[in-house]
Amino acid sequence: MPTAQTNPRTIWLWGLVLINTIALIWMLVSGEFLGDVVGPIHGNVTNLILAFFSVVISYYVFLGPVFNFTSRISVKAIKPRISPVELNKSIGRLLILLQLGFWGFNYLYGVNIAGSRSSEAKADFLVSIIWVIVPVDALFLIYYSFARDTVLWRYNLLIYISSNLVRGWSGMLFLILFMEFCRAFRLKKITPLRLVLFLAIIIAAYPFISNLKFLFRGSISTDFVLLDALAGYVNQLVVDDYFRIVVGAFQHLVGRIQITSAVEEVIRNGAALRASLDSDAFAPFWLEGLHGIAYDRLFLPDVRPTLGFELAYQINSAKVRFNVNPGWVGWLYVAPYLIPVYCIYTMALCFASFWFAKKIGSHAMLFDLIWLSWFSFLVTGWLATFVAFIYALAVYLLLTIFLSYFKDFRFHLKSR
């Protein structure tokens, strides 16, 4: 396995282990859960420790040996009929139009907003299906991997950040930080001192970023004035003890990244979740994603929720629009009789992610993005989102082929 001296992803892997370790100690000392799970631990210490080791092992196995093994599969990349520079220009121009169109769609119909109930939105079905077929946000991240040093990348990045912020999403900043960290590491711009300063800046800035996110969400869903609310929050930072605010923000950050508490709840509610699965109350793992939604719409009265939503229901005892990360290991405790099938299925998804990526073209930053998708979606148990990301890779591949074979395809948007 590559070491932290040779691979920036290894640093992040040990960082994830450290965050879950901090979360475990914090919960054991305070007696309270962190993250999406709230309330006292009571007699769940044994389950909590079991969950911690399950999570750490899954991190190491998938983000270490399995990732390294899968990345070595031999796939022949396509050969575009135009130069990489021209290809990135064409994709960059197209993405500017797509991102602006997606932004306008979300603004007009009030969908794809953090905390909103998209299913209740009055979006036109035919218009909505366009943005399902064309996953704009994911396409930009793939483009990011190939066109990092181009002018059009900067324009696209500005639109991407702005579009996500006004929808109340701040997770894209984490994605950008990861990608830029890996790039800077390979350029030998990361030193221990800079790494410490980098972490200090993140912790110090997180209270502002987190509250800015919720202010944007509130400005969308209520009548209050965003600038007034922002000014009130800045005034609060001046008046209140900033150190206390930073400690609370750090606790929130650790709670958001760690999944130990959620996996503990999967273990504790394993029997109830298994009964719900047997009664078709939520979708099996192989039907999480767009293909599962299509299947349910064709053959069932309603679209079934995923394990994450069912877990939230079991925890809260109320049907709310909420999702909890069950972790990849969650399904091991929910359906142990399906472990062989589960392992084969998830390994197939892992191979598919690399197959499509290498068909587009092997690139260090693209491999970083694949690793990030494994952590963000696969290891956390968001199989539906992982499937959607693989679908985005397939769309990007088709887009590359299209623009390669239609080299006279041009937009009037000027760029250099």
Query: Tell me: the pLDDT tens digits for 244-256?
Result: 767 777 787 888 8
Assigned token pair, 215: 């202010």
**What is the pLDDT confidence band of residue 328, given thresholds at 50, 70 and 90?**
very high
Identify the CA nearest to 304 among candidates 330, 281, 272, 279: 281
Identify the CA nearest to 133 among candidates 393, 386, 395, 357: 395
Cα separation, 144 vs 175, whole angstroms: 11
pLDDT in tens, 373-382: 999 999 999 9
Identify the CA nearest to 197 among candidates 181, 182, 213: 181
Contacts of residue 283, Cβ cutoff 8 Å, sequence gap at least 6: 292, 296, 304, 305, 306, 307
C-alpha of 411 from chain center? 31
Residue 76 phi/psi, 5-degree rounding, is: -85, 120
Angle between helices 171-186 and 364-373 (to 10 degrees): 140
What single string gives the DSSP state of each residue in 171-240? HHHHHHHHHHHHHHHHTT---HHHHHHHHHHHHHHHHHHHHHHHHHHHHHHSSS-HHHHHHHHHHHHHHS
Assigned token pair, 53: 């080791």
Identify the CA nearest to 305 among candidates 281, 330, 277, 332: 281
Identify the CA nearest to 360 among candidates 397, 395, 332: 397
Average pLDDT over residues 338-365: 94
User: Which residues, in sequence order, are bridge partners of residue 40?
Assistant: 32
284 near 277, Cβ under 8 Å?
Answer: yes
Comparing 341 with 253, the larger pLDDT belongs to: 341
219 near 226, Cβ under 8 Å?
Answer: yes
Which helix (H) or strand (E) is 109 found in, with range? helix 84-109
Burial state string for 104-119 with b = 16 or more CB within 10 A and e = fewer than 16: ebbeebbbbbbebeee
Contacts of residue 59, Cβ cutoff 8 Å, sequence gap at least 6: 13, 16, 17, 20, 375, 379
Average pLDDT over residues 291-313: 91
C-alpha of 180 from chain center? 16
Torsion of CA 3, 7, 12, 18, to 10 degrees: 10
Average pLDDT over residues 50-70: 95
If one counts every other C-beta atom within 10 angstroms of the C-beta of residue 242, the result is 13
**What is the pLDDT confidence band of residue 347, given thresholds at 50, 70 and 90?**
very high
Identify the CA nearest to 76 among candidates 332, 357, 298, 375: 357
pTM: 0.86
Average pLDDT over residues 111-132: 63
**Largest CA-CA distance found in the chain, in angstroms, rounded:** 67
Answer whether residue 411 shows pLDDT above 50: no
Torsion of CA 398, 403, 404, 408, to 10 degrees: 160
Cα separation, 41 vs 213, whole angstroms: 29
If one counts every other C-beta atom within 10 angstroms of the C-beta of residue 252, the result is 15
Assigned token pair, 75: 């796939």
C-alpha of 141 from chain center? 11
pLDDT in tens, 15-58: 999 999 999 999 999 888 888 887 888 667 899 999 999 999 99
Q: Which residue's entry shows tokens 């192989």?
A: 286
Identify the CA nearest to 182 among candidates 407, 386, 379, 371: 371
Cα separation, 365 vs 376, whole angstroms: 16
Average pLDDT over residues 2-24: 85
**What is the pLDDT confidence band of residue 194, given thresholds at 50, 70 and 90?**
confident
Residue type, 174: F
388 near 141, Cβ under 8 Å?
Answer: no
pLDDT at 227: 53
